[in-house]
Amino acid sequence: MKNLKNALIAFAVVLISCNSAKKVVNTNTSNEKPLNIVLIVADDLGWADLGCYGNKFMETPNLDALAKKGIRFTNGYAAAPLCSPTRASIITGNNPARINFTEHLHGYSKPTPQQKLIPPTIVKGLPTDLLTLPQALNKAGYYTGHIGKWHLGEGESSPAARGFDFVYGGGPQGLAKTHFYPFFWGNPYPSLINDTKPGDYLADALTNRALKFLDEHKANKFFVELNFYSPHVPIEGPKNLVKKYDDKRVKTNHQGLPEDEYAAMVDNLDYNVGRLLSYLKENNLDKNTIILFTSDNGGLTVEEVPAFAKHTPPTTNAPLKGGKGTIYEGGIREPYILYHPEMKVENHVDSTTLITSDDIFDTFMDIAGVKTKSPDGMSILKNMAQHNPNRPYYLHFPHYSPQHGWPGDAIRVGDYKLIVWYETGKSELFNLRTDIGESHDIAAKYPEKVAELKKKLDAWKKDVGAKEPTANPIYQP
């Protein structure tokens, strides 16, 4: 715990100096009891979908309260604009480009004549030679549990095969058939069906099992990740909450997005996070449990494929541009909320530190006192303590996405973000400090900045061995 304590002390100094009106008043370093770790990952939750991130329609009191007690990050990113690559990043600390896992797992369809490029073929599941979070934490004495969405493969790439002591409701499926019982096509998770009944809601059922996991292992040192399938399509909220937002829309004359069914899904997700937080507090586990909440990519902002088009588009990521499947900010900037029991925060602390899903692995290694580090991440605590405003964020996405996203790469350094599009070779440059909505391309005005960032991006791609798309021989303009 010594390294963690030192990081926390430095961390507190940084927060006090950078947030004069919102200060850390005490860093408790007397607690020698090992820290438990809870990771909560939403599915397709957008950066602007929570009250603590400015949403005025959806109600998220539990996550808002967690942000008040902890740290809300405003420059947190997913490693990709789609779920599987970001989840691989979380579980291994490897950037998707390094491991050729740059798109979500799906069948490999042939390119169409409308596609100018042929995207590279990705891996068929989480590579078995990568060290995972549960494997590393097992060695540090943690009992590890995975509950909910996995979507990183099956067999040798399944959560049980990749180190988790306990697995519930998670396999190769990328989405549920319905969020109501019986949830999935067929019966891939018999234990889930045995625990539930007609009318039950999936997020409630997953949280029920998470609470049981905590009850079974509260005397031990544990790591559990609760990965919701919400608010991913199909967009279906609990009926009582749908009515709540139907009524609220009329009462407040709220116009436009979010869709009421989607709002109900986010409200229910927040309710279940609250259940988990209440359990930790009631059982005195909150005093030695770190909690990290995030999402896997931006909110969906287009109509889905016909089978799941109902109630879509469900949300907006405004003021950010774009959404899931795109490399604009709406597709990759995520909510991150970190609660640490050894950090006593007065009022509320925001951090502008740039962090990514690649960092979660090293952060938990830091907390567990494990010296193992990932090739692409950095402990969030140490990153904040070092206060490096020019740490780069890299993104490699050589794919066409179902959400009408185009192949491209991106880099952010400080205020500036560069996007390079594969089809045209065109570059776009944005100053995110003054133009968070990426509405003013300033590449022509600052050619030297474009060249500087492109040089960094190209060097990084070479270093990680990024696979690039190739020309489509059947392309018909």
For the chain, the domains span 2-26+33-391
* Alpha carbon distance 27, 15 (integer Å): 12
pLDDT at 467 over 50: yes
Using DSSP's 3-state secondary structure scheme, residue 226 falls into: strand
Is the alpha carbon torsion for 295, 181, 274, 279 positive or negative? negative
Overall average pLDDT of the 91-112 stretch: 90
The pLDDT confidence band at residue 341, using thresholds 50, 70 and 90, is confident
For residue 416, the model assigns a pLDDT of 98
* Alpha carbon distance 296, 97 (integer Å): 16
User: Are the C-beta atoms of 475 and 115 separated by less than 8 Å?
Assistant: yes
Structure tokens at 450: 């474009």
For residue 266, the model assigns a pLDDT of 98
* Alpha carbon distance 45, 407 (integer Å): 22
The pTM is what?
Answer: 0.95
Overall average pLDDT of the 406-420 stretch: 98
pLDDT higher at 1 or 330: 330
For residue 5, the model assigns a pLDDT of 52
The pLDDT confidence band at residue 106, using thresholds 50, 70 and 90, is confident
In this structure, what are the phi and psi dihedrals at residue 347, rounded to the nearest 5 degrees? 65, -105
**For residue 27, what is the enclosing H or E element?**
strand 24-27
* Alpha carbon distance 456, 26 (integer Å): 40
Query: Average model confidence (pLDDT) for the chain?
Result: 93
Phi/psi zone of residue 311: left (φ > 0), alpha (ψ -120 to 50 degrees), beta? left
What CATH class is the domain 2-26+33-391?
Answer: alpha beta
Residues 6+ apart with CB under 8 A from 261: 235, 236, 237, 242, 311, 314
